């Protein structure tokens, strides 16, 4: 065995498709340490004092934007939020010019959410600050994927060998893609289920098992990750009515009983309660939805720390 440095210092966090297992584990291990800070009475540490972070969100967000802001502040960085609806974007400023303007102010990290797939990669190619992808269209949402994997690992101790069902609007879901890439790399079996109209045509190529009924997909799984129906991204006619969707694909107690008795219920939020998930499932003892939010803060603290400061030695046979 030899020792090798794994480091994310200076690296853009664009997606889990391009991330190594060692890099993911570095983030997950660091997040566990960050969670200790969140649990303290006084949460602020000076680790990133003198560093600056801009949250540049072209789409709405509650969890991701707030947790990145708190993550930066808990670590002592200066954090500025740019809400594009109140910025010069509404005067027609392009994405590239917006990025160049933020860069000119000397920021260290730009956390960006954008409706276009590939926007984070474009940003990384356009400016020097580290880019952290907070969601680009239906492509990737790497910090959500990592916080989901963190939550599963915390509850189930390991990822390898677990059966994970991802249910619902996979077609429009960057959360699903980041989960799929990350979970498969870490050795889980991943199943996806939903109406055929909400499953990408080539989804089998990801290496997942595909179901157009929920019941067989849920049989014996360890984790049920329920996706939001993204009505804002859908054309008409992808499913008959919300009531029909809930009846055929909604996760209720009866369907949840098909999974392992201790199966973990997850949802990235925001939820359409009563549509993709029944309220008594969302707030059941099996639900980790609130814990996911807390873990999101820890994972985002870990990422901000690691891209500016961090690495560690790992044992490897390579
Ligand atoms: N899961 C998620 O990305 O939520 P927000 O849109 O509230 O950030």
pLDDT, tens only, 68-92: 999 999 999 999 999 888 899 999 9
The rounded Å distance from CA 159 to ligand 1 centre is: 23
Helices (H), 165-225: 174-185, 214-218
pLDDT greater than 90 at residue 67 = yes
C-alpha to C-alpha distance for 177 and 161, rounded to whole angstroms: 19
Catalytic, 113? Answer yes
Does 141 participate in catalysis according to the annotation? yes
101 is annotated as an active-site residue: no
Give the pLDDT confidence of 179-211 residue by residue, as tens digits.
999 999 999 999 999 999 999 999 999 999 999
According to the model, what pLDDT value does residue 1 have? 66
The contacts of residue 286 (CB under 8 Å, 6+ apart) are 256, 262, 263, 264, 265
The pLDDT assigned to 313 comes to 66
Q: What is the pLDDT of residues 22-42, one digit of tens each?
A: 999 999 999 999 999 999 999
Band (pLDDT 50/70/90 cuts) for residue 158 is very high
Q: Report pLDDT for 90.
A: 92
Ligand 1 atom having least distance to the Cα of 135: 3
- Per-residue model confidence (pLDDT) at position 36: 95
Tokens found for residue 66: 């707030």
Residue nearest to atom 6 of ligand 1 (CA): 61
How far is CA 64 from each of CA 22, 191, 200, 208, 297, rounded to the nearest angstrom?
24, 25, 25, 27, 8
CA atoms of 139 and 263, how far apart (whole Å): 27
Burial 207-241 (b: 16+ CB within 10 A, else e): ebebbeebeebbeebbbbbbbbbbeeeeeeebbee
Per-residue model confidence as pLDDT tens digits over 43-60: 999 999 999 999 999 999
CB-ligand 1 contact for 179 (6 Å cutoff): no
Q: Are 291 and 151 in contact (CB under 8 A)?
A: yes
Residue 239: pLDDT band with limits 50, 70, 90: confident
pLDDT of residue 270: 97
* CA 318 – ligand 1 centroid, Å: 38
By most ligand atoms within 8 Å of CB, the mutation choice from 56, 59, 63 for ligand 1 is 63
- The proportion of the chain whose per-residue pLDDT surpasses 90, expressed as a percent, equals 90
Q: Which of 3, 91, 201, 236 is catalytic?
A: 91
Tell me: pLDDT of 242 over 60.
yes
Is 43 annotated as catalytic?
no
Q: What is the pLDDT of residue 234?
A: 72
């Amino acid at each position: 065995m030899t020792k090798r440095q794994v480091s994310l210092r200076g690296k853009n966090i664009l997606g889990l498709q391009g991330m190594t297992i060692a890099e993911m584990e570095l983030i997950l291990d660091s997040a566990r340490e960050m969670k200790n800070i969140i649990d303290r009475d006084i949460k602020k540490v000076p680790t990133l004092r003198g560093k600056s972070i801009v949250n540049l969100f072209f789409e709405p967000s509650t969890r991701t934007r707030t947790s990145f802001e708190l993550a930066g502040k808990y670590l002592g960085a200066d954090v500025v939020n740019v809400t594009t609806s109140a910025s010069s974007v509404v005067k027609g400023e392009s994405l590239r010019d917006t990025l160049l303007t933020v860069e000119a102010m000397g920021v260290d990290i730009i956390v960006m959410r954008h409706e276009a797939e590939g926007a984070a990669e474009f940003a990384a190619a356009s400016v020097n600050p580290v880019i952290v992808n907070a969601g680009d269209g239906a492509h990737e949402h790497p910090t959500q994927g990592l916080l989901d994997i963190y939550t599963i690992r915390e509850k189930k101790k390991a990822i390898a060998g677990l059966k994970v069902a991802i249910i619902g609007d996979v077609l429009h879901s960057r959360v699903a893609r980041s989960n799929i890439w990350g979970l498969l790399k870490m050795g889980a079996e991943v199943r996806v289920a939903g109406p055929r109209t909400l499953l990408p045509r080539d989804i089998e190529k990801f290496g997942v098992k595909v179901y157009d009924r929920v019941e067989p997909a849920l049989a014996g799984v360890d984790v049920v990750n329920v996706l939001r129906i993204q009505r804002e991204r859908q054309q008409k006619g992808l499913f008959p009515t919300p009531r029909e969707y809930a009846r055929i694909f909604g996760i209720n107690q009866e369907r949840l009983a098909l999974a392992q008795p201790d199966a973990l219920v997850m949802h990235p939020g925001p939820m359409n309660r009563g549509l993709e998930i029944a309220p008594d499932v969302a707030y059941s003892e099996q639900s980790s939805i609130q814990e996911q939010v807390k873990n999101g803060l820890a994972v985002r603290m870990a990422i901000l720390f690691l891209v500016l400061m961090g690495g560690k030695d790992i044992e490897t046979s390579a």
